[in-house]
Structure 1
Amino acid sequence: MDALNFLIEIAFDLFLITVLLRIWLQASRADFYNPMSQFVVKVTNPLILPLRRILPTLGHWDLASIVLAYAVGIGKIIALSSLTAGMLPMVSDIIIMGLAVVLFQFLSLLFWITIIRAIMSWFNTGYHPMTALMAQLTEPFLAPIRRIIPPIGGLDLSVLVLIVAIQFARILLNNLFSMGMGL
């Protein structure tokens, strides 16, 4: 049973990460021709294109992608709940837990992309498409921090501040969602 839970969780998480990356790539206006961007678009297009006929795009936000991410979060909750408990939680709990899944997955994605970008910056000697894409994704979060805390002696503390902020947000959201769920 644990192995099946693991497989279901991984399948939902990987697809949710891909959909969240698509939302993030579009919102940050990242390079569409980057190989990673092309992969994300090709994987998500089969579900997003039909949704796009119904849901419009508002500015930088693709509502079809957002709805799909939320649906994947809800699907994960329903699949895991029906497998482990044999019964579904209340609809209001599923709605809240689906939102929590999406938010926590985005914060996890932001955390790891920030960490990977920082590590890659130590070894990067030239242009690499993956480094450029990670810079396009994280720069909207790091630039405001750099305006407040400039690099000190060549050491950029914005990554550290962002990581602390992400962890703080995860703890705060965990507390809010667990109080809202009565856990």
Structure 2
Amino acid sequence: MNTQGAFTFLLSTVVDLYVFVLLTRFILQLVRADFYNPISQFVVKASNPVLVPLRKLVPARGNLDLAAIIAVLILVIGKTYLLLMLSGAGSLPPAAAMVLYSLRSLAGLLLNFLFFAVLVRVILSWVAPDPYNPFTAIMIQITEPVMAPVRRILPPMGGLDLSPLIVLLGIQFLMVLFLG
């Protein structure tokens, strides 16, 4: 039996899912999403046990939920150290290298989050265009701040909205440029 692989899988999955919840909370607050939406309520209740105590040390700045970002950085650093210890790595990297790694990971996570949110919104526009569906409403609220400026520059052509395509290309460009 490969117990080390099983623990590594379990640790990575649990931490990654909670990081996703914290990033969702950060983005929902950043875009001023409807917090009465059932999906938003789930995210708030799932993230409050970590964020409420952390907010006493790190208050929010306007729409920026700094506590959520710091919690994500701590989780990424902790996960990396635990995975290195489980793998039996002889020496651990210095703390400064871990912070830089976690900041780069955070940028990648945010860009991936936004990429998949736009992609989901495109698919939802084909399948379930009901704007009153809680999931559809959240996807619109998350992606509209990025897609609206592009839509102003590039209006619909023949009934087609090409703004998602431009946004997806822009996100991919940023990922290659900065995370290469």
TM-score, normalization by structure 2: 0.91
- Specify the alignment match of 1:116 in structure 2: 120
- Specify the alignment match of 1:178 in structure 2: none
- Specify the alignment match of 2:36 in structure 1: 33
Measure how far apart 1:80 and its partner are.
1.9
CA distance, structure 1, for counterparts of residue 31 and residue 178 of structure 2: 24
CA distance, structure 2, for counterparts of residue 22 and residue 125 of structure 1: 24
2:68 is equivalent to residue 79 of structure 1: no
CA distance, structure 2, for counterparts of residue 125 and residue 148 of structure 1: 24
Aligned length: 175
1:107 to 87, 108, 111: 111
1:163 to 153, 161, 168: 168
The answer (yes or no) to whether the contact 1:74–1:95 under 8 Å persists in 2 is yes
- Specify the alignment match of 1:179 in structure 2: none
Which runs of structure 2 are paired with 1:36-51 in the superposition (5 Å)? 36-51=39-54
Indicate the SS of the match to 1:61.
Answer: coil
The answer (yes or no) to whether the contact 1:117–1:131 under 8 Å persists in 2 is yes
Unaligned runs of 5+ in 1: 176-183
2:162 is equivalent to residue 143 of structure 1: no
Identity %: 43
Measure how far apart 1:125 and its partner are.
4.4
2:24 is equivalent to residue 15 of structure 1: no
The answer (yes or no) to whether the contact 2:73–2:102 under 8 Å persists in 1 is yes
- Specify the alignment match of 1:92 in structure 2: 96
CA distance, structure 2, for counterparts of residue 100 and residue 9 of structure 1: 18
* Structure 1 residues 50 and 131: CA distance shift in structure 2, 3 A: same
Unaligned runs of 5+ in 2: none
2:69 is equivalent to residue 66 of structure 1: yes
Alpha-carbon displacement from aligned partner over 1:154-175 (angstroms, at most 9, x marks no partner) = 1111111111111111112223
CA distance, structure 1, for counterparts of residue 11 and residue 107 of structure 2: 19
The answer (yes or no) to whether the contact 2:129–2:136 under 8 Å persists in 1 is no
Measure how far apart 1:6 and its partner are.
2.5
TM-score, normalization by structure 1: 0.89
CA distance, structure 1, for counterparts of residue 45 and residue 157 of structure 2: 42
Alpha-carbon displacement from aligned partner over 1:131-162 (angstroms, at most 9, x marks no partner) = 01100000000011111111111111111111
Alpha-carbon RMSD across the aligned residues, in angstroms, is 1.4
CA distance, structure 1, for counterparts of residue 41 and residue 98 of structure 2: 32
Measure how far apart 1:4 and its partner are.
3.0
